[in-house]
Structure 1
Amino acid sequence: MNLENLLIHKGKTILDALQKLNGILYISHISRLILFVVDDDNTILGSLTDGDIRRSLLKNADLYISTGQICNRDFVFERKREGFLDLQQFRKRDIKILPILDEFGKLVKIIDLEVIKSQLPLECMIMAGGRGKRLSPLTDTIPKPMLPLGEKPIIENNIDRLISFGIKKIYISVKYLGEQIEQYFGDGSNKGITIVYIKEDKPLGTAGALSLVDHFETEHILVMNSDLFTDVDFEELYLALIEQNADMAVASTEYKVDIPYAIFETRDTRVLDFKEKPSYVYHSNAGIYILKKELVHQIPKNEFYDITDLMGELVKGGGKLIHNPILGFWIDIGNPVDYKQAQELAKHVY
């Protein structure tokens, strides 16, 4: 949003502020009406909400008091900086809107804590070049990531979730009918982000497209498949990686196997013990990864290469690979049954 809409000069009156707050209702999707009072140099002096105005009117019954007199000068803010910003500390204090100021006290952005879940220092690569043959004929004229799910395409659900975690730059690898994805999202500016398209001339697997990016700006990269429907917590995955000093973190799902027979524990032909119809739970790959950008250099340039190949090399080389379970829902939309299940779930999620 245009930050100018949230600024008001200290010399303006309460009446001016009320008019500006009323205008925000029609030009912004901000979850709380708020203004920031500035001096002649546009330095922030304080915040001003409708509550501040009501309290002033009850005390003074004067619409022409200046905003500089009644603004909250003890407002909560953060300085602009690189790296991870823990938003949970502000949620615990019931902060709804967090202004980010530069070194001169000027407003550079706001974080709407009702909308933004996190501020992760990550760039993302979404793999969206596949043919999706198992969903034919639906994918004969539409790329699988663009199939509708709820009120928007599958891939848009993922992009919007990434945005809610503060991710501002997304690479999308495209091949089959990729021009439809490009035409739909453009450069990402309509969503307030940057989208860069990586065009595959040939199939490059689930990691090969990473080798076509000249330079990643963030120290870690999030990689995910485009055909997922999930409420994965990207912050939890990122913090697990950082806290355990891992080279790569993989989101995982539980896969349960029910054995319909008794399973013997044996030594030669002798039965030592047995379990009647046991169930085994395995952690399986959910198609979402965060990795150190240095690992990209291990990916062969413009060649077919799966991310599981990178995982295998990492483990064999003594690197640290961890997994973090997805506690919410996760569907890999690979066939008509999966797609139907995702469509039904989307009715209850949105």
Structure 2
Amino acid sequence: MFVDFREYVIDDKSNARQALQKLDALSSKDSRTLFIINEEGKLLGTVTDGDIRRGLLSGREISENVNLYMNRKFKFLREDQINAEEVKLYKGLKIHLLPVLDSKERIVKLIDLKQVQAIVPISALIMAGGRGERLRPLTDATPKPMLKVGDKPIIEHNIDRLIKYGVEDFYISIKYLGKNIQDYFGDGKSKGVNIKYIEEDEPLGTIGAFRLAPQIRHEHILVMNSDILTTLDFEDFYKHFLAINADMCVASVPYSVNIPYGVLELSDDLHVTSLKEKPTYVYYSNAGIYLLRSKLRDLIPAEGMYNATDLMDDLIRSKRKVVNFPILNYWLDIGNQQDFLKAQMDIKHLEL
């Protein structure tokens, strides 16, 4: 998703011939666009083969400065003002590489819009410290998050899907055989993201490690279990969270219960008020995926076990807003042998 922009930049003292040579070196790439910068690194414009061709046809010389050929009306994002709707607009315009600029107009990264579903400005905490008792003996030598579903570990499916939604800051909470996970992902640079690890000396529950996450860059953070397979649309999840102005949004799985008999509806004094024939009731089960305000970290106790359900209870008691987001896409919690086998079959048909 994030591209090494150094091979796509050229300084403003170069001529058109040099620009063409550099563009030719990009012939194996999906995009043949150069970003022209000055000596301070400020982005001045862009140039493509087509720009140079049109300039030559209008009478310019190939030895002339590349600035004479460049497009000054380029699209870009501000590092501190990334907007999901703006990204969607640029995808619709078929823009391939989109520069992200800092306050001094310097490129800090290039986003490959062909590789992203959206840009969701959040950090992510993935809980990966569990023992996986119900999956033994598979987890005797391999931590549950590293069990392969298809051609890669469960946790990697989740990381790669989040990357498609523009997430680049990851925290992974580890305990049981955690070094296996660290050795596999390292600092995340191989995927173009940043990964930091939170080592649990003792089990901290399903969200207790959140209090140990350092330097959370974004206002909001996604917390999820590592042993989930899902096609959840994280952009829709995030937009729902913002629209309701929630403190915490809990993803859920709708679960229908069919009653094969007529059900009496009763008043407090046991009078029958109505009869429902073979009704279906829908309940919402916790999916192990949460969006919350990063500042809620301060509410988590400094020591001991603390679960996401504890945080929900505390927020509800203090009249904070906790909301539900039903997952209507695919979702599977790989908690036992049967579900693990199901995942091996399902992955053949999923687009994660």
Q: Report if TM-score (shorter chain) is over 0.5.
A: yes
What is the alpha-carbon distance in structure 2 between the residues aligned to residue 312 and residue 54 of structure 1? 64
**1:145·1:155 contact (CA, 8 Å) conserved in 2?**
yes
Please list every run of 5 or more consecutive structure 2 residues that lacks an aligned counterpart in the other structure. Answer: none
For residue 45 of structure 1, what is the aligned residue in structure 2? 44
Specify every segment of 5 or more residues in structure 1 that has no aligned partner in the other structure, as ranges: none
Deviations 1:211-249 (A, max 9, x none): 233553432222110011112222322232222221111
Name the CA shift for 1:42/1:295 in 2 (closer, same or farther; >3 Å). Answer: closer
In the alignment, the residues of structure 2 paired with residue 154 and residue 22 of structure 1 have an alpha-carbon distance, to the nearest angstrom, of 39
Aligned mates of 1:214, 1:75 — CA distance in 2: 36
C-alpha change, 1:68 and 1:178, in structure 2 (3 Å) is: same
SS at match of 1:130: coil
TM-aligned CA deviation for residue 319 of structure 1: 0.6
Q: What is the aligned residue count?
A: 347
Partner of 2:163: 163
Query: Aligned letter for 1:47?
Result: T
Tell whether the 8 Å contact from 2:125 to 2:170 is kept in structure 1 after alignment.
yes
Cα distance in 1 for partners of 2:203, 2:15 equals 62
Deviation at 1:143, TM superposition (A): 0.9
- Aligned in 2, Cα 1:143/1:298: closer, same or farther, shift over 3 Å? same
Residues 212 and 302 in structure 1, CA contact (< 8 A), matched pair in contact too: no
| Residues 1:132 and 1:9: Cα distance change in structure 2 (over 3 Å) | same
Mark the CA change 1:223 to 1:270 in structure 2 (over 3 Å): closer, same or farther. Answer: same
Counterpart residue number, 2:75: 76
Bigger shift: residues 47-56 or 191-200:
47-56
- CA distance in structure 2 between the aligned counterparts of 1:22 and 1:94, rounded to whole angstroms: 21
Contact 1:169 1:193 survives alignment (8 Å): yes
Q: 1:192 maps to which residue?
A: 192
Q: 1:151 to 1:53 in 2, by over 3 A?
A: farther
SS in 2 for 1:246: coil
Q: Which moved more, 1:303-312 or 1:168-177?
A: 168-177
Question: Are 1:143 and 2:143 an aligned pair?
Answer: yes
Structure 1 match to 2:112: 112
Tell me how far 1:157 sits from its aligned partner: 1.1
Pairing of 1:1-350 with structure 2 (within 5 A): 1-26=3-28, 31-56=30-55, 66-81=65-80, 84=83, 86=85, 87-266=87-266, 271-350=272-351
Query: Does structure 2 retain, via aligned residues, the 8 Å contact 1:209–1:302?
Result: no
What fraction of aligned residue pairs are identical, expressed as a percent?
46
CA RMSD of aligned residues (A): 2.6
CA contact (8 A) 2:4 2:109 kept: no
C-alpha contact 1:249 1:324 (8 A) present in aligned 2: yes
Deviation at 1:324, TM superposition (A): 1.8
Counterpart CA distance in 1 for 2:278 and 2:211 is 47
| Cα drift, residue 76 of structure 1 | 1.6
Q: What are the superposed Cα offsets for residues 137-161 of structure 1, whole Å, 9 maximum, x if unpaired?
A: 2212111100112321110111112
Structure 1 counterpart of 2:193, one-letter code: I
CA contact (8 A) 1:211 1:302 kept: no
Tell me if structure 1 keeps the 8 A contact 2:4–2:110.
Answer: no
Aligned residues of 1:77 and 1:98 also touching (Cα < 8 A):
yes
Give the SS at the match of 1:312.
helix
Displacement of 1:322 in angstroms is 1.0
The answer (yes or no) to whether the contact 1:8–1:17 under 8 Å persists in 2 is yes
Q: Match of 2:18, as an amino acid?
A: D
Q: Deviations over 1:183-232 (max 9, x none)?
A: 11112222222222111122221011122335534322221100111122
Q: Deviations over 1:257-307 (max 9, x none)?
A: 222222222456765433332222222221111112332222222311111
Moved more, 12-21 or 215-224: 12-21
Q: Which moved more, 1:211-220 or 1:153-162?
A: 211-220
Q: Deviations over 1:43-80 (max 9, x none)?
A: 32221234434545666697656532222222122333
Q: Could you state the TM-score of these two structures normalised by the residue count of structure 2?
A: 0.88
Q: Is the 8 A contact 1:173 1:199 kept in 2?
A: yes
SS of equivalent to 1:289? strand
C-alpha separation in 1, matches of 2:262 and 2:49 = 68
The residue type paired with residue 5 of structure 2 is L
Question: Partner letter of residue 275 of structure 1?
Answer: K
SS class of match (1:5): helix
Change (3 A) 1:157 1:265: same
TM-score by length of 1: 0.88
Distance between the aligned counterparts of 1:63 and 1:344, measured in 2? Answer: 57
Q: CA deviation at 1:110?
A: 1.5
